[in-house]
Structure 1
Amino acid sequence: MALVKPTPPGECPQCWQHAYDKSIHRKLKPRQDCPACVDHMHNGCPNRVPKKQSIWR
């Protein structure tokens, strides 16, 4: 697996990894959807990295 930057605050780790790590989708055939991505699109992003608390609050 290639080195991917850590997930920034407020982003979903799965979305981030699937967007920036090309090796995940390399095994798919042309025009084939990634089952994990399709499931994630239908069910949403349940596990976002929490953002830091704002100093203005």
Structure 2
Amino acid sequence: MAAKETPPGECPQCWQHAHDRKVHRGLRGDCPQCVNHMVNGCPYLVPKKESWWW
């Protein structure tokens, strides 16, 4: 499955880890990046979706 571009308003790491099976292939247990993300929150400034109104 080809990795798609991250849509606006989504965290790039969350998006990649949720939609690309290659990221977690070969892991035996929890993904350290995902665990850190769940515990400490999203480290990225997620851009807001573009407004069509303005």
For normalisation by structure 2, the TM-score amounts to 0.81
Q: How high is the sequence identity, in percent, across the aligned residues?
A: 63
- Is structure 2 residue 33 aligned with structure 1 residue 36? yes
- More helix by percentage: 2
For residues 22 and 55 of structure 1, the distance between their equivalents in structure 2, rounded to whole angstroms, comes to 33
Where structure 2 has 5 or more consecutive residues not aligned to the other structure, the ranges are none
**Structure 1 stretch 2-11 or stretch 32-41: which is displaced more?**
2-11
- Helix, strand or coil for the counterpart of 1:23? helix
Figure out how many residues of one structure are paired with residues of the other and give that number: 52
Give 1:36's aligned amino acid: Q
For residues 23 and 56 of structure 1, the distance between their equivalents in structure 2, rounded to whole angstroms, comes to 38
Name segments (4+ residues, structure 1) moved above 6 Å. none
Where structure 1 has 5 or more consecutive residues not aligned to the other structure, the ranges are none
C-alpha RMSD of matched pairs (Å)? 1.5
